[in-house]
Chains A and B, each alone.
Chain A
Amino acid sequence: MKQRPWLFLLPALLLVSISAFIPLITVMNYSQLTLLPGTEPYFSGLENFVAILEDEAFRAALGRQVIFSFLVLITEIPLGLGLAMAMPKEGPGVGLSLVLLGIPLLIPWNVVGIIWRVFTRSDIGVLPAAFDWFGYSYEISSSTFDAWWTVLAMDIWHWTPLVVLICYAGIQAIPEEYYMAAKIDRASPWKTFRYVTLPNLRGVLIIAVLLRLMDSFKIYAEPFVLTGGGPGSSTTFLSTYTSRMAIGGFQMGRGAATSLIYFFIVILISFVIYIVMLNLGQGAGGDQ
């Protein structure tokens, strides 16, 4: 029998081509067509792309998207890391905290949206009632500020546990000797964190940041259910914009072009962050 290791790669290759490659090609094809219901599609080159890039609504959605993802990252990553470090390292507490953390992750996206929707409703919701008690008038359907921080809080509640789990696994893998050496070297808790925990978690943190970045960039179901993109278009993110364009507005070609632009932005930002984090703090000079 000849040895054919490439045979083992075949299923994976097939799967990737069906799930990613073929749809991508289709979208690329669509993006250069003008596709309106009831008319014959015709080739319109880069017209769709130009139109989208000039569209104010697109730019606004992109801007909101970038701000949203940025806020997600700067809260969820430190919060997740902090929680992971505070978690018990052994004993019965480990299992309990893992289960508690796991619960939000098990709930489907749209269900999360519905839970928060009920939670924040002005008639029966607990949240407006609670705020009312403090004298603050909470209005998710009319206040942009309230809508924004609620969407953010929902995302933090839903996804920080993932960051905690990733960081916790990373922390558990740091050899105890590093902490012993830091003790002997009289390092303060902050320096121990800065020079032992953080560098050893670099790889793990890159994964957490990239996962959260890509996921938050693609956020769709939760805000769609919670706020429907409003008030106005104040919580309309890129995915909501894209689906409205393609399905709501029946402009398949333009929708496809939006998807492609969207796709390249995600790749670009992820790549930049990956490169920056990879080189961060690597063998920096004798700094204090």
Chain B
Amino acid sequence: MGIRVENLCKSFGTEQVLDGITLDITDRSFFSVVAPTGAGKTTLLRILAGIESADAGTVYYDGTEMSDVAVQDRSVGMVYQEFINYPSLTVRENLASPLQVSDENYSAEEIERRVQETAEMLKIDHILNNLPEEVSGGEAQRTAISRALIKEPDYLFMDEPLANLDYKLREQLRSDFERLFSEQDTTVIYATPQAGDALAMSTHIGFLHDGTIIQKALRDEIYYRPRYLPVAEYLGEPPMNIVPVTLVQEPTSTDRHFEVDDDTRIPAPGFDSLSPDQEYHLGFRPQDMQLSDSGEASIAPTLSFVETVGSTSTLHMDFQGQEIYALHPDPVHLETDTSIPFVLDPQKFYVYDSEAGDLIATGSNIPSFS
């Protein structure tokens, strides 16, 4: 019952927003479309739901072509960034409304049963008799989601539904969504610019770049093996560090290293498949940068500032005019504007082609998927 999309194109005026999207969304998966704001996520979602029409291309639901099926006749639900509820109806009436207006003539008992069930599932059963303006933002958005879910749609589209919520609620809902939808038959298609939201909830993630989905994979796969630089530079909190390097063969031994400049040489054991004297982009995650105790360092960027939230410190550093992040699991107290020595683990390296930008080698500790 998944969705298949073939060669979808859409432009607004001269701007080509979607440029030949071909995509398979697995049945019952939680699929996130991730991209920066303005990349066309919302347009893609609307075309998939049938609210907007494409210039070219075909959408199939469960193998059936949907171009001629109006959105009213599709089994879809939609949740927006704004909390859209009927202001004059109670939460209970809001939930019941999609069933009442439907052609399928639900009995009063059936409606009551479904309202109760859905409300319990989304933990809004205590506010059923309140008006939307009397409930909190999180509850209002849960009401909107319940309304979308109550008809038990095959496909639920969500367009940044958590964007307007306080972080504590977002945290809570992220956790709830992950649980809720792993038990549901609904296929969820979720658009967000927040890498964190997608990584926390999704089973599958697709990255939209320049009008196409450049990588679509299981959540773990796209996180551990981002196939292209734009994906690597976006999917992570903070994102992966990327440094341009040259692979150099030591003249006197079999050792090789990645050379950034004369002062920075990063050992490169195990990258035998790469050719020496070639330029590459070296990637390493902020979590995998270890503060050096001995003073011996693979890389020593200059500390701009530290952000400590709870027990986690994010170090913002400058390395030859480039931003580098390191994530430290404990609060650190370091002098800004000094260079901070780090040891890098080559087993956790990513190597990208410097021109095409695709992943050509990884360290041995990076999990592989096939």
Contact = CB atoms under 8 A, between A and B. Distances in A.
Interface string A17-58: 000000000000000000000000000000000000000000
Interface size class of chain B, counting residues whose CB lies under 8 Å from the partner chain: under 10
Contacts of A1: 68-70, 73
Interface in B40-91: 53, 68-70, 73
A2 interface: yes
A3 B69 CA distance: 9
A283 B236 CA distance: 40
Interface string A99-114: 0000000000000000
A20 B68 CA distance: 37
Interface residues of A, number: 3
Nearest to B70: A1
A3 B66 CA distance: 12
Interface in A87-102: none
Interface string A236-270: 00000000000000000000000000000000000
A101 to B, nearest CB: 29
A225 B70 CA distance: 57
A2 B67 CA distance: 8
Contacts of B68: 1-2
A107 to B, nearest CB: 36
Nearest to B72: A1
Contacts of B70: 1, 3
Nearest to A5: B53
A1 B72 CA distance: 11
A1 B53 CA distance: 13
A1 B74 CA distance: 12
A2 B73 CA distance: 12
A2 B68 CA distance: 5
B362 to A, nearest CB: 47
B72 to A, nearest CB: 9
Contacts of A2: 68
A207 B187 CA distance: 48
B41 to A, nearest CB: 22
A3 B71 CA distance: 10
Contacts of A3: 53, 70
B7 to A, nearest CB: 20
A3 B72 CA distance: 12
A188 B53 CA distance: 53
B46 to A, nearest CB: 13
Contacts of B73: 1
Nearest to A1: B70
Contacts of B53: 3
A3 B68 CA distance: 8
A1 B67 CA distance: 9
A2 B70 CA distance: 8
A212 B73 CA distance: 48
A2 to B, nearest CB: 6
A3 B50 CA distance: 10
B101 to A, nearest CB: 18
Interface string B326-361: 000000000000000000000000000000000000
B53 to A, nearest CB: 6
A224 to B, nearest CB: 49
A3 B70 CA distance: 7
Nearest to B73: A1
Contacts of B69: 1
A238 B53 CA distance: 50
A256 to B, nearest CB: 40
Nearest to B69: A1
A166 B70 CA distance: 40
Interface string A200-233: 0000000000000000000000000000000000
A1 B68 CA distance: 5
Nearest to A2: B68
A252 to B, nearest CB: 46
B254 to A, nearest CB: 65
A5 to B, nearest CB: 9
A2 B53 CA distance: 10
A4 to B, nearest CB: 11
B47 to A, nearest CB: 12
A1 B69 CA distance: 6
B24 to A, nearest CB: 25
Interface in A42-96: none
A1 B70 CA distance: 6
Nearest to B51: A3
A8 to B, nearest CB: 14
A88 to B, nearest CB: 26
A41 to B, nearest CB: 48
A45 B69 CA distance: 56
A58 B150 CA distance: 71
A6 to B, nearest CB: 13
A90 to B, nearest CB: 20
B69 to A, nearest CB: 8
B67 to A, nearest CB: 9
B54 to A, nearest CB: 11
A57 to B, nearest CB: 50
A1 B71 CA distance: 10
A3 B73 CA distance: 13
Interface in B291-350: none
Nearest to B67: A2
A231 B130 CA distance: 69
Interface of B: 53, 68-70, 73
Sorted from nearest, which 3 A-B pairs have the closest CB atoms? Answer: A1-B70, A3-B53, A2-B68
7 contacts: A1-B68, A1-B69, A1-B70, A1-B73, A2-B68, A3-B53, A3-B70
Interface of A: 1-3
